[in-house]
Structures are given as structure tokens and as C-alpha cells.
Chain A
Amino acid sequence: MSEIRFELDARIPDGPLEEKWDRHRAEMRLVSPKNKRNRRIIVVGTGLAGASAAASLAEQGYQVEAFTFHDSPRRAHSIAAQGGINAAKNYQNDGDSVWRLFHDTIKGGDFRSREANVYRLAQVSTSIIDQCVAQGVPFAREYGGQLANRSFGGAQVSRTFYCRGQTGQQLLLGAYSSLSRQIANGQIRQHTRTEMHDLVVVEGRARGIITRDLVTGEINSHVADAVVLATGGYSNVYYLSTNAKASNVTAAFRAYKRGAAMANPCFTQIHPTCIPASGEHQSKLTLMSESLRNDGRIWVPKNLDESRPAGEIPEDERDYYLERKYPSFGNLAPRDISSRAAKEVCDEGRGVGPTKRGVFLDFSDAIEQFGKETIRKRYGNLFDMYSHITNEDPYQTPMRIYPAPHYTMGGLWVDYNLMSNLPGLFVIGEANFSDHGANRLGASALMQGLADGYFILPYTIGDYIAQTPRDQLSADSVEFKETETETRARLSRLQSGSGKRTPTSFHRELGELMIEACGMSRSEAGLLDALARIPALREEFYQHVSLPGERANLNLALEQAGRVADFLEFAEVMCHDALARDESCGAHFRVEHQTDQGEAERNDEDYCNVSAWEFTGVGSPPALHAEALELETVELAVRNYK
């Protein structure tokens, strides 16, 4: 394995915060139109970030190779985002501004993100809306024809743009339509049902990828001047999450194993209002809009092993634990706090539902107060969705909810240009760590994905390409051949297992271990225990995983096994990160660091930084590089939701 020791340089431009991006744009080198035609860029992933980047780069004149393991670019999981997309338009004249969006995002991330990146995100947020409108994204409108906004996720201003409950879908279809146009123009070559298996590094630069055609099993090399990863997050390390079934860490993790740093992997967001698992068979979890907490009251029975139906439990035997613990915020306590509180009451054995991992979200008071019709108007769609999935009527019996992993703030480390420490490897969207710190605000994921893809990467990648001379590197070069051979060897190793366990059974076991040890709350003992158990599980996996079928063919079990194998290694990096970050911040809650009231306690003195991890070999602890965060404009404050 290559032993690259590296220095991390965030390359943040000089100058006042407000001017950094404009100055940087003015200073970046350009590639002439004639030269762009001869430069090739690989984009892996066609979600919001990938599709928008591929389309924008193709419009500029680059040759783009777009890869997706789906049957169509339109299937990427960005499509499932419901709520909306933030932008500092201040259309509502309620005092919003670039500064306020920036400040909210930094504060929401519990002061663990880069000021310069976040400020730029807020700056370009307004252009995203304009671009999407121009593409024909049918945003909700007011009667006068102006764009409508709503307040989302507890924000004090209305800056969220939306398309009913399908904002992610419409934004993705917009980016997909631009991508499709460039495919028709011949500027983008599309590779569907093709999975990235490795990154090829030549003379210290990312120069291509190795892929497996998921239908034919063929292993192929693809050469380019730069590689862009837009491969999403890794919530599926927990097995049960709101992510799509195929979402995985493989592309990012293989890049990590080739020398790219992995930043803040333990920062994972666990969303409080999901539909609980109904049993062992549960394959994924479904998110319901957080807006339900505006009118629903959350409670569990006071008694352990309560067996009466919800309606028969008298008022004085119910524990409205959020209202009790956080009187001022009550049921609207932030995501991480309410998720953790739900876990605590279930750990005490007071959970409800068939699996006892659930709490009630009760609308009976709201229905009494506002009437059933008003509640139907506000939440009808969500109630329908809930009753469709659970076969229970939320107008009659309280809903059951439970937190579920939802988004991962961590990811591959990138500098201000969205380039990783490996020159030529760019990482955008959820796959990078860049903007959300230790916790992401609602409606900010879509914003970041599109900011990266439409308005940041297309400029910064040009600066890189302008500095690298064109050459005649071919897929026959020794680096590509070697990496291909290693890919085949990895597949052989997976297939050498002799046993009766399925890849999914290992995935499920890993997930249970991770949600316990590195989920809503983490402890030193728990993390050390996990770090002892994960290698054993990995060992068991390679020995006993059953993979029927051939490699040179469509092989579901082999696809799953490859992804599970990476999760089995990646989980260790997460635990190391959670262990090393000896503080609580944002979604990362170390039980050792809490106030008397059970609040997260940050340690700004020692941990106001980004932890970036370097691969040192499978099973050996990764090496930590800490990038200090210089917070110059924002004042560090303690969250208080009492």
C-alpha cells in the first residue's frame, strides 16, 4: 500500500470574508475553449452534485464521462429529499441576508466548519434558485406569481424554496435535464449501471478510475485529467437509514485507501422523525417531515413494559419527556437532542411498538384544539403516508416515530477549491465534508450539492486543469493495469469465502453495532468495544460470506458484498474519529462530555478543528491530521435550548 504522508492546506484565499470568493474567482487561471475540448473529466455519481457538475462542465466545453450505478441518472437518492432548498434571497423581506444564512449554518454546525466555505455557500445560494427557475423547476408560487418560501427546521426567516414535498426530485430532474441535453450534444458520455471500484493515481495525481459494468461484470479503466466524486453519503454504514438501499461509501473509501484524507467521519446526522422498523425484515427507514413536531406531542409511558394501547394510558402515566426536559423548546428541540432523548427512553425499556424502539407522536391534543380538518390540511399527506406504511390511522392512534440515520456531514477532506489532498481528485456534495460542520441544518443539503456542482467546482477545476499539462496517458499504462489487477484480486478474495452467510446479514450486524456504539451517543468504552469487534466481524465476513453466481455477469450478491466490505473497514475509521474527538459537538455526543442537564459540551480549546484521517493499512489505526478552524468572524457560543 502506498504510504503518502501529506500536509493539509485548505488554500483559503486571503482578504475579508465577504471578498474571498470574488477575489479568488478573479485570480483563478482559465482554460481556453480550444483546450477544454481536449481535456477529459470523470464525474462519478449523478445526483444533484454530480449531474449539475457534469452538465456545467460539459457546457463549458470539457469532455465529460458521467458514471452512475443506477439504470438512469435520475434515480440518485437526491430525488428523495422532501423539504426544500435554502437561499439567502430575502424575498420575504424578513431580514434574511447572506450573512445570516452563513451565520445560521456555522452555528447549526456547532462551529466545526470553515467560515470561508460556508460564507461562499451562502453567497452562491441565490444563483442556484435563479438557475433552477431558468431550467423550469416548478417551485411553489404565491398568487402574484412570485416565488413562495417557508420557514424550515426552526429557522427564524423564511428562506426555503420548495416544490410541494418533492423538492429534491424536481431539482434533480432539472440537473438531469441539463445533463441529458449535454449527452445529446455529445459532450457527456454516460455510463449507467457502472460502479466505480478504484481510483487510479499516477505520479501523485488522480488520473482515472476502474469500473465494473454491473450487467456484464466487465472491469474497465477510464483515463481523465481530473476525477470528481459526487457519490453521496455513508449513512448506510448503520444498515438501517433513510438512504436508498444502494447508497454506499465505496467510491469515497477506495479514494481514501489511495491516499485521500477522510474528514470528520463520525459526524452523522440522525433524524428524529422517522417511521420505526416494523420487524426484523425492515430494509430501510422512511423519513417524515420534521414539521410534524410543530403540533404533535412526543411521549412514552412512564411504566416499563406498558402493554395497554396508547389511548388507554391515562394522562398522569405518560411522560412527555421533551416538554419535561426542555420546557422552552419542548417538542421542537433540535434534531440531535430529540433523537438522543428518544433513544434514552427506549434504552430504559419504555419504547413503544412491536420492536420497542419507538416513541409516540400524539396529535390528539392538536386535533382537539384545532379540529381534525385543520390538522388534515396541515399534515394530510404525511398522515396518509404514515397510514399507508404502518396500516394505522394517526387521527385515531398516536403515530410512532424513531430516529434514523439520515445524512453524513463527514466525508472526503477537500480544500477551498473542493479538491482533496490528492491533486486532481475533487469531491462534491454529501461525499465531501465541507460545509455543515458537526450538524446540518434542514434544507441545506440540496443547497450545498447544487452550489458545489453548478457554481463552485466548474470554476475551481479549471484552475487545476490550467496548471496541469495535457499528456497522452492511456489505460494501458502500468498504473491502470496494476489497479485493474488489484480490483480483480479484491473481487476474487470476496468470492473465496465459503459459508452460508449473506452479505446482508453482515451488513445488518455491522449496522446494529454501529448505531449502538457510534450513533446518537458515543462513549469511550463503547467505541473501544466496537473497535475490537469490527475486525472480528470483517474476518468472519471474508471467511463465511456466500456469493453465488459468476463475476462476469450481473451478480447482486457480489455488488452487495463489495459495498459491505468497505463499510466493514470504514466503520473503524468512524469509531477512531469518534474516539479521538473527545468532546461533544453537534450530532457527535460523547456521554463523557455533557452538562449536568445532559447537554452537549464542546471543547473549543482542543477540538475547534477538522479531523482528517489518513489510511495506513487495513486494520491499522489511521493517522490523524488536524486542520485548525480559524473562526474570525463568528463568536463561539453555547447552544441552549432549555
Chain B
Amino acid sequence: MKLTLNIWRQQGPNDTGQIVSYPAKDLSPDMSILEMLDKLNEELIAAGEEPVVFDHDCREGICGSCSMVINGVPHGPQKASTTCQTFLRSFQDGENIYLEPFRATAFPVVRDLMVDRSAFDRIIQAGGYVSANTGGAADGNALPIAQQTAEDAMDAAACIGCGACVAACKNASAMLFTAAKVSHLATLPQGQVERSERARNMVAQMDEEMFGSCTNQGACSAVCPKEISLDWIAKLNREHIRSRVAVST
């Protein structure tokens, strides 16, 4: 099949950047979007031109590296899927495809389709952990955890940190990401001691990073490859209220 690729090319953070069109032919519907870009890059490199830069790694939808907006939707048209798991069979032969980087002040463009998502790391550094030093942990079974509690925590913990939620939100809000991490630990007994402090600090860092605020629309959850639920945002709101009223222990 054939496609016309309209790809955002930008030399660096200070370059303005623009869409450049590339005709792509001899494509297979079984190719992923990334394999299509591999092919384009092979052709560009062979022709002595610089390849299109994009983040990717595991190519099985779990590492959260791939990050691009395909025809206006982060990770493209396939629901519950990452870019690496989006195949050309989702598109019509001859279609025009637009590939753009995630757009957010907190995710500055590094080059082309690659953005800097270290803001997410800093949100985790602000409190997305249980302060448990190596060694000295009690036996794993010393603390029984209800099956449903573990399952709920796992639902939140499934977040792959790709940032599609931010890219989809009209306010570039990181609420779904932050909510998932805060909720994962707030749901489990291990996370109780630092619960208030964690919610407060992670939200503060999220604001510091210049993510926008949540307007409860749900675009984040709709594009999330792991279908992280809006429930967790409601929970983060509760955790936030709690952190403001509860005496931190």
C-alpha cells in the first residue's frame, strides 16, 4: 500500500519546525507505524539525509517510549494501543497521515517526534515511592492484602508512563499519570505512612512542571494504552483533599 506521510521535522528545541511530506510506497498492512518509519529512515539514510527521530524501544507496548500523535490522536486510531502496536491496516491505502510530537510545555521537543518527558520522572521523584530501604523487609506474607485491593492497585500501577494522557488533554494535564501513581500506593497498606505527603508533593511537582489542570473530560483515559480509569483522578482529588485536612503522620 501507499501513504503520504506528513511528519513534523524540528532540528531542536529552539527550532520552529514544520511538517514535511514524504511519499511512502511498497508498504505492507502488517507493518507497524514504527516499522513504516524504519523503512522511511532506511531510505533517508541511504540517500544521505537525516532520519526522522522518534522514541521507541520494546515495540511490544510496555516500555512507554513511543510517543507520537497520529492524525490528531496520541498513539493513533486503535484503542488501548501504543504507537508500536498500531498497524498500517488501520489506515486506507493512499491516505494522508500526520505524525506530530506530543505537545506540552512540560514535554519540550528534543528533535522531530522525540520529546523530553523527564517531568514525569521528577513527579515520581517527588514522592512516587515507599521509603523502604533494601534489607529489613518483613516476610511477604506478614501483611495480608485482600485480593481485590491488590487487583485495584495493579489497575493503577499498569501505567506505562508514555504521556499520551498529557498529549491528548487540551490542557496538557498530567492528572491521569499522577493519579495512577498516587492511587497505586495509596490503595496498598504499604503506602499508608507517606500517603498524605506523597499526594501533596507529587501534585505540587506536577504543577511545578507546568502541566495544565484537569477539566474532567476523559480524553486522557480514552487514549491511554492501558485504559487507566478516570476513577483514579477522582481518587487523586480525594487524596488531595485528605492530604490537606489529615494530619500527616
Contact = CB atoms under 8 A, between A and B. Distances in A.
Interface of A: 52, 55-56, 59, 70-77, 79-80, 89, 91, 127, 129-136, 138-147, 163-164, 166, 169-170, 173, 176-178, 180-181, 183-184, 190, 192, 215, 244-246, 278-279, 281-284, 286-287, 388-391, 454-455, 458, 500-505, 546-549, 554-557
A546 B160 CA distance: 35
Interface string B29-48: 11110111011011011111
B45 A143 contact: no
A89 B139 CA distance: 10
Interface in B42-80: 42, 44-51, 53, 55-60, 62-65
B126 A130 contact: no
Contact of A169 (B35, B62, B85): B62
Given A181-B125, A391-B30, A135 B46 contact: no
A309 B120 CA distance: 48
B42 A504 contact: yes
Given A164-B154, A180-B129, A388-B85, A455 B30 contact: no
Contact of B62 (A163, A166, A501, A505): A166
Nearest to A453: B134
A505 B146 contact: no
B125 A180 contact: yes
Contact of A283 (B59, B111, B144, B185): B59
Contacts of A458: 134
Interface string B13-41: 00000000000000011111011101101
Nearest to B189: A136
B57 A163 contact: no
Interface in B153-184: 153-154, 157-158, 160-161, 184
Interface in B115-148: 116-118, 120-121, 124-126, 128-135, 137-141, 143-147
Nearest to A168: B62
A181 B51 CA distance: 36
Given A134-B190, A138-B153, A556-B53, 9 more contacts: A59-B133, A71-B55, A91-B141, A140-B147, A143-B147, A245-B59, A283-B34, A504-B38, A554-B114
B53 A141 contact: no
23 contacts: A59-B134, A72-B117, A74-B121, A89-B140, A129-B140, A130-B139, A134-B132, A136-B153, A136-B185, A138-B150, A141-B150, A142-B147, A163-B154, A177-B124, A178-B132, A181-B125, A244-B58, A284-B59, A286-B60, A389-B85, A390-B30, A454-B134, A502-B42
A75 B146 CA distance: 30
B234 interface: no
A636 B186 CA distance: 50
Contact of B57 (A134, A246, A389, A502): A246
Interface residues of B, number: 78
A45 B38 CA distance: 25
A147 B55 CA distance: 36
Contact of A178 (B31, B36, B111, B129): B129
Nearest to B139: A130
Given A141-B147, A163-B154, A134 B137 contact: yes
A457 to B, nearest CB: 11
B130 A135 contact: yes
Nearest to B143: A133
Contacts of B185: 136
A77 B141 contact: no
The 6 closest A-B pairs by CB, nearest first: A145-B144, A177-B129, A134-B137, A134-B132, A130-B137, A138-B153
A135 B128 CA distance: 10
- Secondary structure of the B contact surface, majority rule: loop
Question: Chain B CB within 10 Å — which of A76, A138, A190, A281 has the most?
Answer: A138
B50 A549 contact: yes
A134 B191 contact: no
B188 interface: yes
Given A169-B160, A184-B126, A133 B140 contact: yes
Contacts of B221: none
Contacts of A72: 117-118, 120-121, 161
A92 to B, nearest CB: 11
Contacts of B116: 71
B8 to A, nearest CB: 15
B124 A180 contact: yes
A391 B157 CA distance: 29
A278 B27 CA distance: 12
Nearest to B27: A281
B89 interface: yes
B87 interface: yes
Nearest to B43: A502
Contacts of B114: 554
A501 B46 contact: yes
A556 B81 contact: no
Nearest to A89: B140
A555 B11 CA distance: 11
B219 interface: no
B214 interface: no
Contacts of A143: 147
Contact of B144 (A80, A139, A146): A146
B110 interface: yes
Contacts of A215: 110-111
A557 B45 CA distance: 7
A170 B147 CA distance: 17
Contacts of B190: 133-136
Contact of B35 (A140, A163, A283): A283
Contacts of A173: 157
B79 to A, nearest CB: 11
Interface string B90-110: 000000000000000000001
Contact of B59 (A146, A244, A547): A244
Given A129-B140, A135-B129, A391-B89, A55 B62 contact: no
Given A244-B59, A548-B50, A281 B129 contact: no
A584 B75 CA distance: 46
A77 B58 contact: yes
B82 to A, nearest CB: 11
Contact of A388 (B44, B81, B135): B81
Contacts of A181: 125, 129, 131
A551 to B, nearest CB: 13
Given A80-B58, A138-B157, A131 B137 contact: yes
Given A141-B145, A141-B150, A177-B130, A502 B124 contact: no
Contacts of A390: 30
A164 B156 CA distance: 13
Nearest to B81: A388
A284 B62 CA distance: 14
B28 A278 contact: yes
Given A178-B129, A546-B46, A557-B45, A281 B38 contact: yes
Contacts of B149: 141
Contact of B125 (A133, A184, A505): A184
B45 A131 contact: no
